[in-house]
Amino acid sequence: MKKLLLFLPIIAVTFLWSSWQKPVQQRSMINKEEVISCMSSETIEAYLQEASAPAFANMHPDSKMPSQDPLVGSMIKYKTAEGMDANAYFIPSKKKSKKWLIVIQEWWGLNENIKHEADKYSKDLQDMNVLAVDMFDGKVAATIDSASKLMRAANMDRMTSIIRGAITLVGDKSSIYTVGWCFGGMWSLQTAILAGSQAKGTVMFYGRPESNMEKLKSIQCDVIGFFGNLDRSPAPAMVTEFETNMKTAGKNLVTHKYEAGHGFANPSNPSFKADAAADAYSKAIAFLNSH
């Protein structure tokens, strides 16, 4: 018994020594892109919930016949991180360029109207490649009901992957500009955040603003936004909050507001307001040219 008592301190010291010598398991570093992606989910999920409501759907009358002008671009495919192909409508620049405008659709999908808008931007930005991404993997809606169903079925991870795939496609030496309307206006700002230092200018047409301050602080380009004072998504109060938040974050945001409702810049939308749309478009082109 005495011998056992003598050995107990030795056993205890040995155990403590071996525990001290055991390597401490290190936690892996958190990837910055993962943090941004996580923060993105709050705004996008809020939009998807809102877009599923009847009140939101009623702000989007069924689209009219788009322009009959022939399209100048063509559909292409590109890879995304999970190995699935993504689709985009592509118009190369008139001369070789590392400047890219990523165009993002409304809730209807990549329809003829968006392709015509991409053509128009390409014509007036001749030294820029234009890529209109397909966020719904080929699905296009023509009625309120079908568009609502697309919104309810939308997968945020897949949409983020489509945008990341487009950023990879254009290359890490390219300058990235973005433009979008409504659903696409929201994604225009989100794309600029995902593009990081490659982002050089962002155009938002009545898209849901970001409210997360840390995310706004990560923006590395100037932003211009066009909003309707009669809109309810985003409502004027939300736009005002966005302006305040961007100023607090130390970011350059210029907004232009019109006595118009939701979708005022869409020529295929019955709520189209020609004078407001023309003014907003000329300012968007001037903004992109200045950057």
Q: How many other CB atoms sit within 10 Å of the CB of residue 21?
A: 7
- Whole-model pTM: value is 0.82
Q: How many other CB atoms sit within 10 Å of the CB of residue 29?
A: 6
pLDDT for the residue 42: 74
Tens digits of residue pLDDT in 79-126: 999 999 999 999 999 999 999 999 999 999 999 999 999 999 999 998
Indicate whether 12 belongs to any domain. Answer: no
Indicate whether 3 belongs to any domain. Answer: no
The one-letter amino acid code at 131 reads: L
Q: Which of 116, 9, 59, 94 is nearest to 232 (CA)?
A: 59
Instruction: For residue 53, name the pLDDT band (cuts at 50, 70, 90).
Output: low
* CA 131 – CA 139 distance, rounded (Å): 17
Tens digits of residue pLDDT in 174-227: 999 999 999 999 999 999 999 999 999 999 999 999 999 999 999 999 999 999
Domain that includes residue 265, residue range: 30-290
Residue 119 near residue 193 (C-beta atoms within 8 A): no
* CATH code, 211: 3.40.50.1820
Indicate whether 22 belongs to any domain. Answer: no
Indicate whether 7 belongs to any domain. Answer: no
Tell me: pLDDT of 10 over 60. no
Indicate whether 147 belongs to any domain. Answer: yes
What's the domain count of the chain? 1
Tokens encoding 60 = 């989007």
Indicate whether 238 belongs to any domain. Answer: yes
Tokens encoding 159 = 């949409």
Indicate whether 227 belongs to any domain. Answer: yes
